Amino acid sequence: MTLTKDFDYATLGFKELIAERDGGILVVTINRAKERNSFTRLFAEEFVRVFELADQDDRVHVVIFTADPTAPAYCSGAGLSGSWNGLFTEEELKEGGDHSHRDTGGFVTFAVLNCRKITIAAVNGHAAGVGLTGLQLPFDFRFIWGGAKLTFPFVRRGIVPEAISSDLLPKLVGHANARAVLLSGLTYTPTHPLLSQLYPPLTPDYPTILPERQDVLPAALAFARNLAANTSQISVAYTKSLLLHPGTTVEESHLNESHALQKVVMNGTDPTEGVKSFMQKREPAFKDRLGTVKGGWSPWWRPLEVRLRRSKL
């Protein structure tokens, strides 16, 4: 899909989420309050679609995902009807074998991780399962209601962690803390020592743990406006990619950073504007965009295809 300068997210006909752009900020809201904002395959498909579009939309600098603060939960986890059979697609069932399934939550996590714009989760309610794994862990920043109840209940439901959480959670909170919360399945609050590193304080102006549900989205929006106005879209994209795709050795990381620095400095105007605005003690006016910058986007890693490839019979 080619995005035009007047492209409107409201025309996409989403059923389980609402997407609204205000300047450089796109706010995506889960729209399943009557079902406790439970996670469905349709929601996942719409979520992946809107994050892919945000990645390509040069007007967007920050994406915020949130829920209606009056809803029973930010996300209550997978929508179940008495069994886990809904996890599997018809294609996966036809393929059979032990390696045919591809976790839907994983594709949601990939959509957030692969979005080259800044991502913020504004968690204004309770969260369970994928409400934590796919809808919080992969985001760059997380703002949360201090009264939220948080649980990774997988071992108490007879299943295993999903949405790449067995990789992301230890990196975010430490292996020992991740082991404790995943193997116990207990319920925690945002300030509990096992999970508090998910919501680190930024500055006194931008608290990440808020006293009331209705405070969460405004706090996230205030921070998003600062980032949209003061950060380079190109710099953000390369910095996120360096963190997501580090080298396997310090030497390889050095080469990756060198490559990225050369691309940014040689092909855009933002580095010059960054220095000028600093010296002139004013806010920057960054103009480079991912879709138009000279030389184009230049990833240095080889993408690994994770989607199911049907066997030839």
Co-location of 213 and 271 in the same domain: no
Co-location of 141 and 71 in the same domain: yes
> By C-alpha distance, which of 300, 211, 307, 227 is closest to 259?
300
Co-location of 119 and 196 in the same domain: yes
CATH of the domain at 114: 3.90.226.10
pLDDT at 312: 46
CATH of the domain at 269: 1.10.12.10
**Residue 143 is part of which domain span?**
9-230
Total domains present in the chain: 2
3-state helix, strand, coil in the chain (%, to 5): 40, 15, 45
Taking a C-beta distance cutoff of 8 angstroms, is the pair 210, 143 a contact? yes
CB atoms within 10 A of CB 243: 10
Residue 3 within a domain:
no
Question: What is the rounded average pLDDT of the residues 97-110?
Answer: 83
pLDDT at 301: 87
Residue 2 within a domain:
no
Co-location of 184 and 136 in the same domain: yes
Residue 169 within a domain:
yes
Give the three-class secondary structure for 231: coil
Q: What is the pTM of this model?
A: 0.93
Q: Is the pLDDT of residue 97 over 70?
A: no
Q: Is the pLDDT of residue 310 over 60?
A: no
- Cα–Cα distance between 37 and 47 in angstroms, integer? 13
Q: Is the pLDDT of residue 96 over 90?
A: no
pLDDT at 313: 41
Q: Residue 120 phi/psi, 5° resolution?
A: -135, 130
Question: What is the rounded average pLDDT of the residues 197-209?
Answer: 97
Tell me: the pLDDT tens digits for 176-187?
Answer: 999 999 999 999
Co-location of 206 and 257 in the same domain: no
Which residue, 204, 230, 256, sits at the end of a domain? 230
